[in-house]
Amino acid sequence: MQGSARRRPFPAAAPGSPPPAGPLYPGRHGAVKAEDTFKTSPFHLDLWFYFTLQNWVLDFGRPIAMIILPLEWFPLNKPSAGDYFHMAYNVITPFLLLKLIERSPKTLPRSMVYVSIITFVMGASIHLVGDSVNHRLIFSGYQHHLSVRENPIIRNLKPETLIDSFELLYYYDEYLGHSMWYIPFFLILFIYFTGCFTPVAEQSRMPVAALLLMGPSSLYYWYLVTEGQIFILYIFTFFAMMALVMHQKRKGLVLDSNGLFLFYSFIIALLLIAGWVVWLWNDKILRKKYPGVIYIPEPWAFYTLHMSNLHAAKESL
C-alpha cells in the first residue's frame, strides 16, 4: 500500500501555455495574498528617515536656498539652486515611494502604483517650471499674498494679454501641477497604509526612533498641506485611513509600527493646521486672498506679507 501511494509528478505544461497560478508562482499578480499569511514588517527606519530628510531639504528647503544663496551664482535667466533641489526631489521621492511599496507585506495593485508614480513625476515636473518662475518673480517685487492681477508688477503689463499668460503659469503651478503631484502622492501612501495591519497586538508599537521622527514628519505634512493648498485631499485621505482602521479592527487587526507612524503623523499635522488657521484667523489681507469656507493661508504668502518687510526694515537699520 505504501508503494502505491507515491506522489505523482506534476503533468508537463503544454508548449506556449501560461504557467499555472499557485504558490509555485508567487510573482504573478494576485497569486498569493500576503494578508492571508499575516506577514508583518519591522519599522522602516531607513526609508522613513530618508523620506523625511529629503522632504525637508529638497522640498521645503528649495525656496530658502534660492533666497539665501547669492543671486550672482544663479542669474535670473538660469535655473536657481531651488530648481536643482526640485529636480533631485522629482527623482528621489518616487524612488523612495517605490521602495516603500516593495516592503509592504501585502500584495498591492502594481498597475495603480505605476500609474500613480508616472503621474506624480509629471505633475512635479510641471510644478518645477511654474514654481521656478513664480519664485523668481519675488526678486522683481512679486507679492505672493496678492492674486496675479493685483500684483503691481503684473497689472501694468502691456499688452494686457501678458497678464493672461502669467495667470496660465500660475494655474500650472498652483492647480494642475499640485493636483497631478499630490493626488498620486497621497494615493500611494494610502495604498501602502492598507498593508500595515497585523493580528499581533505586540507588533502595534512604535520604537523610540519612530517617536523621534514623528515630529519632523508631522511638521512637513503641515507645510505640504498649507503651502500646497490641498486640505480637502489631505482630510479625505485621513478619513479613508481612519475608516480603514475601524474596519480592520472589527476583524481583529491592528496597525503595525509603520502604520502607526503614518497615522499619528497625519493626526499631529491636522492639529498643527488647526493651530495655524486659528493664529491667522483675523488677518484681513490673507482673508482676502483665501476667501471661502476653507481658510488655510500659505506659509510663503505669510512670509512675503509680514516677514519680508521685517527683514527689509532690519537691513535698512
Q: Is the pLDDT of residue 219 over 60?
A: yes
pTM: 0.79
Average pLDDT of the chain to the nearest whole number: 83
96-133 tens-digit pLDDT? 999 999 998 888 889 999 999 999 999 999 999 988 88
Q: Is the pLDDT of residue 145 over 60?
A: yes
Higher per-residue confidence, 312 vs 166: 166
Question: Domain limits of the chain?
Answer: 45-278
What letter would DSSP give residue 73? T
3-state secondary structure of 197: strand
161: pLDDT confidence band, cut at 50, 70 and 90? confident
What letter would DSSP give residue 254? E
Q: Which of 290, 258, 215 is nearest to 105 (CA)?
A: 258
- Enclosing H/E stretch for 278: helix 257-279
Per-residue pLDDT at 57: 94
Q: Which of 107, 264, 110 is nearest to 195 (CA)?
A: 107
Contact in structure between 299 and 155 (CB atoms under 8 Å): no
Q: Which of 92, 136, 138, 110 is nearest to 31 (CA)?
A: 110
